Amino acid sequence: NAGLPRMENGETVFPMQAEEFAKWAPEFIACGVKLIGGCCGTTPEFIVQIKKNISSLRPAEKTHDNGILHLSGPRSTVSAGTESGLLIIGERINPTGKKKLQQEFLAGNLELASAFAEEQARSGANLLDINAGMPGIDEKKTMLNLIRRICIISDLPLCIDTTSPEILEKALRLYPGKALVNSLSLEAVRLLSLAAIKKYGAAYILLPLDDHGIPESTEGRITLIEKLLEKCRAEGIDEGRAVIDGLAMSIAAGQNNAHITLDLISHASARKLHSVIGLSNISYGLPGRPELNSAFLAMACGRGLSFVIANPQEEIITRMRFSADALLGKDAQCKKYINAFSGAVVSASEKPAGPDINSRLYNAVLRGSKDTVQTLVDEARALGIDPFLIIRDIMVPAIQEAGSRYDKKEFFLPQLVAAAETMERGVALLRPFIEKQAQEKRGIILLASVKGDIHDIGKNIVSLLLRNNGYDIIDLGKSVDEKTIAREAKEKKADIIGLSALMTTTMTEMKTVINELKKQQIKSRIMVGGAVVNSAFAESIGAHGYAPDAVKAVKEADRLMERKLEK
């Protein structure tokens, strides 16, 4: 935009001129920007000035950063490098050998997978491996639903584990971050994944495997890895995003297997590349597996291992990890080691998990677990809990906690939406049982996106939270003209009218609506919001209140209702 908009004589004005606007363009190009232009308030003159300023420039080339590999989740970044220490890829979201998870996948239920994600994150995982490969299900549909679900409840980057190039392409297209692909090999079918890895800039695990199988020697495996790296370079894929799989295999099948894996890790370190192992494979078929796994992991860390695919809830593994990082100088002042072994308490604001229906339903709303809310609501009713109390004493505190976390930037918009939608589903299930009770509503609120504005996602979130906090909501939708708003407000006797605008070109319609309401002598309180609206604008057009987001909209509605009642 040509600066921040302001209102002058009822018109939206952008104060910035073309010369000032365009002077910023070279700095963006230096940061690597490849496409640049103008939006609200700009004219062809602005674009001409930009071109004049950058015509001799080229975008900065992106290179991998001194052996540091950056991976990102929807809301966080993990970096693997010389000082980062060992990173754990949580292995539990994989149906292999897990009958209950298999049954849930077959039923289209992701609740156990969601629980695994949260438990592994709390136990110290840095990434989460997700695998949906099993007979009898639609692997593509399950994988995409897993990504959608896990990205709401967890900030951690994902390791997308599939052998299908088609599924990988769809998964990387959907994933909101830089993923780690598990994995790429010289098998003909897996080489088809190169296109998706290049297109979406993913990091990738290289498996020393081709159509002839796995070489038995370290040299043979190194040869395959180097061939894979050559193919990646030929496709224009940066080898700095490669992670070499040490391909740990059980020493029960060959005692030299541990040495081969360790030597391959050493080769990766010498090439200044990252490495990973699937830890549990090394002890397959043997007793005392945790101890054997832990000892092997220590040896691998000594060779420069970057990632381990393991269960972070196995205490012996996490303790070894902190110990190795401290001994290898990858834990400044041994801070992580001291925190792990000094008895420091990890805080958790969820209610303790357990058989208590109140805690389980509370956590379901807080986590946005729509798949289980009906079962939990039915269980609560079967136990004789009053439907109104289910909402008041369990669901409302949960949605309030979600709002509090959102305020503190501990939750983000997808998590807030999921919690609100889960509560809405629960309330809808209970509504028939409480309509007979004399429950006093807090007020009637009419919502609308103003004329010309076709955006309503934010308004819909506001609607969910207001409804879940006891208000009757009349939602007129998007691009609603002032006469319709006035007519509906008068007919429905709205206590509050909430107006939304996302565009600078439509925000002036809010003033038009307020003028119409005054003309018809409608006494409803008026609250405004939207991306382009601020408190100064709200005051300038005569609105009674302003809310920058959905959580504050509930608080502002409460305030306006209190003022209305005082009068």
> Each residue of 174-202: pLDDT tens digit?
999 999 999 999 999 999 999 999 999 99
CATH code at position 134: 3.20.20.20
Do 453 and 560 lie in one domain? The reply is: yes
pLDDT digits (tens, 9 = 90+) for 314-362: 999 889 999 999 999 888 778 888 888 875 433 344 554 456 899 999 9
Q: Is residue 479 part of a domain?
A: yes
Looking at the structure, tell me whether residues 121 and 159 fall in a common domain.
yes
Say whether both 50 and 129 belong to one domain: no
pLDDT for 63? 59
Give the model confidence (pLDDT) of 125-146 as tens digits: 999 999 999 999 999 999 999 9
CA 27 from chain centre, in angstroms, equals 29
Q: Are residues 420 and 377 in the same domain?
A: yes
Residue 267 lies in a domain: no
Of 112, 117, 166, 159, nearest in space to 139 by CA: 166
- Write down which residue in 391, 413, 434 finishes a domain: 434
User: Looking at 415-531, which runs of residues are DSSP E strands?
Assistant: 444-449, 472-475, 496-500, 525-529
CATH number, domain containing residue 377: 1.10.1240.10
Which residues, other chains included, contact 118 with Cβ-Cβ below 8 Å and sequence gap of 6+?
Answer: 153, 154, 367
- Give the number of other Cβ atoms within 10 Å of residue 262's Cβ: 21
- Residue 527 domain-assigned? yes
Residue 268 lies in a domain: no
Domain assignment of residue 407, yes or no: yes
Can you tell me the distance from the alpha carbon of 295 to that of 45, in angstroms, rounded to the nearest whole number? Answer: 67
Judgement on whether residues 429 and 463 belong to the same structural domain of the protein: no
Task: Please write the tens of the pLDDT for every residue from 518-554.
Answer: 999 999 999 999 988 999 999 999 999 999 988 899 9
Residue type, 435: E
pLDDT at site 476: 96
Whether residue 466 lies inside any domain: the answer is yes
pLDDT value of position 356: 86
Res. 233: pLDDT tops 90: yes
Residue 23's domain spans which residues? 6-54
Same domain, 450 and 427: no
Choose the final residue of a domain: 434, 468, 488.
Answer: 434
Confirm whether 142 is domain-assigned.
yes
154 neighbors 123 (Cβ within 8 angstroms) = no
Assess whether 379 and 418 both reside in one domain: yes
HSE of 175 in the Cβ direction (CA atoms, 13 Å)? 33
Q: Are residues 412 and 513 in the same domain?
A: no
What is the spatial distance between Cα 126 and Cα 407, in angstroms, rounded to a whole number?
25
Q: Is 445 helix (H, G, I), strand (E, B) or coil?
A: strand
Per-residue confidence band for 305, with pLDDT thresholds at 50, 70 and 90: very high
Tokens in use for 555?
């608080």
Please provide the average confidence, as pLDDT, over all residues in the chain.
89
Which DSSP symbol is given to 313? T
- Measured from the Cβ of residue 488, the count of other Cβ atoms closer than 10 Å reads 16
Kindly report the number of other CB atoms within 10 A of residue 344's CB atom: 9
Q: Are residues 424 and 448 in the same domain?
A: no
Residue 304: pLDDT above 60? yes
461 and 561 fall within a common domain? yes
Quick check: is 333 in a domain?
no
* Whole-structure pTM value: 0.71
Do residues 465 and 533 share a domain?
Answer: yes
Boundary (domain end) residue, out of 386, 409, 434: 434
Residues 6+ apart with CB under 8 A from 549: 406, 529
- Whether the pLDDT of residue 433 is over 90: the answer is no
The total number of structural domains in the chain stands at 4
Burial class (CB in 10 A: 0-12, 13-18, 19+), 336: middle
Q: Helix (H, G, I), strand (E, B), or coil: what is residue 3?
A: coil
| Whether residues 430 and 530 fall in one domain | no
